[in-house]
Amino acid sequence: MAKKGYPLGIDVGGSGIKGAPVDLKKGEFTKSRLKIATPQPATPEAVAQVVDEIVDEFEKETGGSPIGVTVPAVVIRGTVLSAANIAPSWINTDAEALIKEHTGRSVTVLNDADAAGIAELHYGAAKGEHGLVILTTLGTGIGSALIHDGRLIPNSELGHLEIDGYDAEDRAASSVKDNEGLSWDEWIERLQRYYETIEALFSPDLIVVGGGVSRDSDKFLPKLRLRAPIVPAELRNKAGIIGAAHRAVDLAS
Ligand code: BGC
């Protein structure tokens, strides 16, 4: 089955590492995803071992095809350069080389929000959009993907914009809403400040909002006052896996 298998997408998150083979024609999983708890501490070596387990599990469906792996960090040519919400030992790790060593596969490692942006662009809320699309994920932190005329400008890190003296994700991530016990209205005020700053700096044509809380998008998106349309992501928690698999094939071909 080598080379004819489906590409595999793997999403490395704080609590789980999730993977599934992806049919890129449809933008769908070909088998239910496998989720394994993220090892603690989530060192590069420990995570690479779990990634290898997931690769083994889907060996039959994916054959020798490429794998795409997301991490919640800046990634340049396979090397991780930041660690806002992951173990500091990731910094300067050549994650592509490490995972390739473990799995023997062709590997692409990319930022988690960039992967989600790619997935929404091809199969979801930003499908067919021209101009500038900014996807943000609201979760433990805030991730972002900048896409212009269908091309990703990677590692935008708009969750770390400094706004009113704060790192934006420390005020407006959905984890902050939970941790500080903010009401929807209190959190919406912070989101308003965040998205109006994004809009002032980038003038996007469309803003897409992902992350688990986008399930409740009707509670907050309609209350934001912005020029650009702001819509919920459509692929939910599948976006990272699908976008990673898409990118892996794009870069391997
Ligand atoms: C990281 C980003 C990541 C985002 C969402 C931020 O803290 O700096 O790289 O995309 O969290 O996980």
Q: Using a 6 Å CB cutoff, which residues line ligand 1?
A: 72-74, 82, 84-85, 111-113, 137, 139, 141, 143, 157, 159, 169
From the candidate CATH numbers 3.30.420.40, 3.30.565.10, 3.40.50.10800, 2.20.28.120, the one assigned to the domain spanning 8-114+238-252: 3.30.420.40
For the CA of 114, the closest atom of ligand 1 is 10
* CA of residue 63 to ligand 1 center, whole Å: 31
* CA of residue 130 to ligand 1 center, whole Å: 25
Q: 24 burial class (0-12, 13-18, 19+ CB within 10 angstroms)?
A: middle
pLDDT in tens, the chain (253 residues): 345 799 999 999 999 999 999 999 999 999 999 999 999 999 999 999 999 999 999 999 999 899 999 999 999 999 999 998 789 999 999 999 999 999 999 999 999 999 999 999 999 999 999 999 999 999 999 999 999 999 999 999 999 999 999 999 999 999 999 999 999 999 999 999 999 999 999 999 999 999 999 999 999 999 999 999 999 999 999 999 999 999 999 887 7
**pTM metric for this prediction:** 0.96
Fold of 128-233: Nucleotidyltransferase; domain 5 (3.30.420)
Domain ranges of the chain: 8-114+238-252, 128-233
Residue identifier of the C-alpha nearest atom 12 of ligand 1: 72
